[in-house]
C-alpha cells in the first residue's frame, strides 16, 4: 500500500506550468510517462528517458522508453557510461529505491531528443495508505498545456503575470510592506501576508507574499521579470479561515521547495531549521491577525 505524488514541472518555466501526478508504487515508469505527456500538451511519438536529479543527459542512470531500450539491446555495454534500464519494466517503487529517492528530491524527464522538452519531478508526498496499483492520475495542476510542441520551447511573457487587480497595482520590483498591507482595504482582498521582507534605506520591502481573495489564494514570488504566482489555492466551499489555513500550508510547502531548490543549486543540504526560519514572517503575520491557532 504505497503511492507517490510527484510535481512534474516544465524546466524552462517551472512556476507557470506544472502537474501533480499520483501514481502507485507498482505502476511502471512508462505508465507514469504516459500520464505526463497528455497532461502538459505533448504527443507520444518520440523517444524519451527518465533520469536522476536534474542531470538529464549526464544522469548516471537512464530509464529509457521501451522502444529505445529494445532497439539498443545489441549495443556494446562496455561503451556505455551510464546504467540503462527499461522504463516499461521498472516500477515507480523500484525506481525510488534504486535512486534512494526521498521526499522533495528529484528526477528528470527528457522527451524528444531533437527538441529536448525538459521536465523535472519533485517527490512531494509518499502516501502509505494509497493502493500500490493506483493508476497515474493528475490530481492538481497549474498553467495551460503547451500549445504547439513543434514551436521552440520557452516562456510566454506576454500579458499580465498577475490576476486583476494586482497586475495594475503592484510594480514589477519588490514592493514596500506598507503598500501590501494597504491592499487589504480593497473590497475583494481578505488577507495579505508579507513573507520575505528586506530592510533597505527606504524601509522594508517585500519579495514574497501571500494574498487571499474571497475564493482564491495566491503565493507570489519576485522572480525576473517581476511578480509571479508560484501557488494558487482554490477556496471553493471553504470558509475564510479554512482558505487562510490552506494558503498557509501552501506557503510552508513552497518554503520547503525553495530549500530543496537552493540545495540542488549549491550542493548543500538545508534541514528543517532552514525551512522553519522561512516560516517566521508567516507565523508573525498569522498571529498579528489573530489566527495564531493556525500555526
**25-60: per-residue pLDDT in tens?**
999 999 999 999 999 999 998 899 999 999 999 999
Tell me, what's the pLDDT at 73?
64
Tell me, what's the pLDDT at 202?
64
Residue owning grid cell 501552501 = 250
User: Of the spans 29-43, 65-79, 166-180, 270-284, which averages the highest pLDDT?
Assistant: 29-43
Regarding predicted confidence, which is higher, 284 or 78? 284
The answer to whether 150 and 211 have CB atoms below 8 angstroms apart is no
Residue 75 has pLDDT above 60, yes or no: no
Regarding predicted confidence, which is higher, 267 or 242? 242
Residue 157 has pLDDT above 60, yes or no: no
Count of CB atoms situated within 10 Å of the CB of 256? 20
Helix or strand (DSSP H, E) at 108: strand 106-111
Distance CA 179, CA 196 (A): 14
Distance CA 153, CA 133 (A): 34
Residue 74 has pLDDT above 70, yes or no: no
What mean pLDDT is predicted for residues 14-27? 95
Percent of the chain topping pLDDT 70: 90
Rounded to 5, what percent of the chain is helix, strand, coil?
A: 30, 30, 40
Report CA dihedral (260, 147, 228, 110) to the nearest 10 degrees. Answer: 20
Tell me, what's the pLDDT at 260?
81
Tell me, what's the pLDDT at 161?
60
Count of CB atoms situated within 10 Å of the CB of 59? 20
**What DSSP character marks residue 100?**
T
Distance CA 82, CA 250 (A): 37
**What DSSP character marks residue 144?**
P
Kindly report the pTM of this predicted structure. 0.59
pLDDT tens sequence across 105-120 = 999 999 998 788 999 9
pLDDT tens sequence across 209-262 = 999 998 999 999 987 667 888 899 999 899 999 999 999 999 999 999 888 877
Percent of the chain topping pLDDT 90: 60
Q: How many residues make up the chain in this entry?
A: 295
| pLDDT, averaged across the chain | 88
Count of CB atoms situated within 10 Å of the CB of 184? 13
pLDDT tens sequence across 171-214 = 767 788 888 888 888 888 999 999 998 887 667 888 899 999 98
Tell me, what's the pLDDT at 76?
45
Is the peptide bond preceding residue 109 cis, with omega within 30 degrees of 0?
no
Q: Is 277 left (phi over 0), alpha (psi -120 to 50) or beta?
A: alpha
Tell me, what's the pLDDT at 79?
44
Tell me, what's the pLDDT at 17?
94
Give the DSSP letter string of 46-83. Answer: S-EEEEETT-GGG-SEEEE-HHHHHHTTTS-GGG-SSE
Which of 70, 69, 65, 5 shows the shortest CA–CA distance to 37?
Answer: 65
Cell of 11: 524546466
Tell me, what's the pLDDT at 160?
53
Amino acid at each position: 500500500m504505497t503511492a507517490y505524488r510527484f510535481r512534474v514541472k516544465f524546466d524552462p518555466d517551472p512556476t507557470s506550468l506544472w502537474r501533480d501526478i499520483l501514481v502507485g508504487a507498482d505502476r511502471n515508469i512508462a505508465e507514469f510517462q504516459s500520464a505526463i505527456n497528455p497532461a502538459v500538451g505533448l504527443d507520444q511519438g518520440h523517444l524519451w528517458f527518465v533520469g536522476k536529479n536534474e542531470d538529464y543527459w549526464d544522469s548516471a542512470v537512464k530509464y529509457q522508453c521501451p522502444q529505445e531500450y529494445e532497439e539498443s539491446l545489441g549495443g556494446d555495454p562496455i561503451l556505455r557510461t551510464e546504467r540503462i534500464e527499461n522504463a516499461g519494466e521498472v516500477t515507480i517503487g523500484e525506481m525510488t529505491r534504486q535512486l534512494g529517492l526521498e521526499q522533495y528530491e528529484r528526477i528528470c524527464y527528457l522527451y524528444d531528443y531533437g527538441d529536448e522538452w525538459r521536465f523535472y519531478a519533485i517527490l512531494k508526498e509518499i502516501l502509505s495508505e494509497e493502493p500500490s496499483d493506483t493508476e497515474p492520475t493528475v490530481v492538481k495542476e497549474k498553467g495551460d498545456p503547451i500549445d504547439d510542441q513543434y514551436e521552440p520551447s520557452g516562456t510566454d511573457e506576454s500579458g499580465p503575470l498577475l490576476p486583476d487587480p494586482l497586475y495594475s497595482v503592484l510594480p514589477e520590483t519588490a514592493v514596500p510592506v506598507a503598500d501590501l498591507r494597504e491592499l487589504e482595504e480593497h473590497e475583494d482582498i481578505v488577507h495579505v501576508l508579507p513573507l520575505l521582507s528586506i530592510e533597505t534605506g527606504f524601509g522594508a520591502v517585500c519579495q514574497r507574499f501571500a494574498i487571499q481573495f474571497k475564493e482564491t489564494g495566491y503565493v507570489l514570488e519576485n522572480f525576473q521579470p517581476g511578480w509571479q504566482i508560484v501557488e494558487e489555492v482554490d477556496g471553493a466551499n471553504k470558509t475564510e479561515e479554512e482558505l487562510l489555513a490552506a494558503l498557509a500550508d501552501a506557503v510552508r510547502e513552497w518554503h520547503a521547495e525553495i530549500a530543496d531548490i537552493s540545495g540542488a543549486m549549491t550542493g548543500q543540504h538545508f534541514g528543517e531549521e532552514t525551512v522553519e526560519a522561512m516560516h517566521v514572517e508567516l507565523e508573525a503575520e498569522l498571529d498579528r491577525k489573530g489566527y495564531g491557532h493556525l500555526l
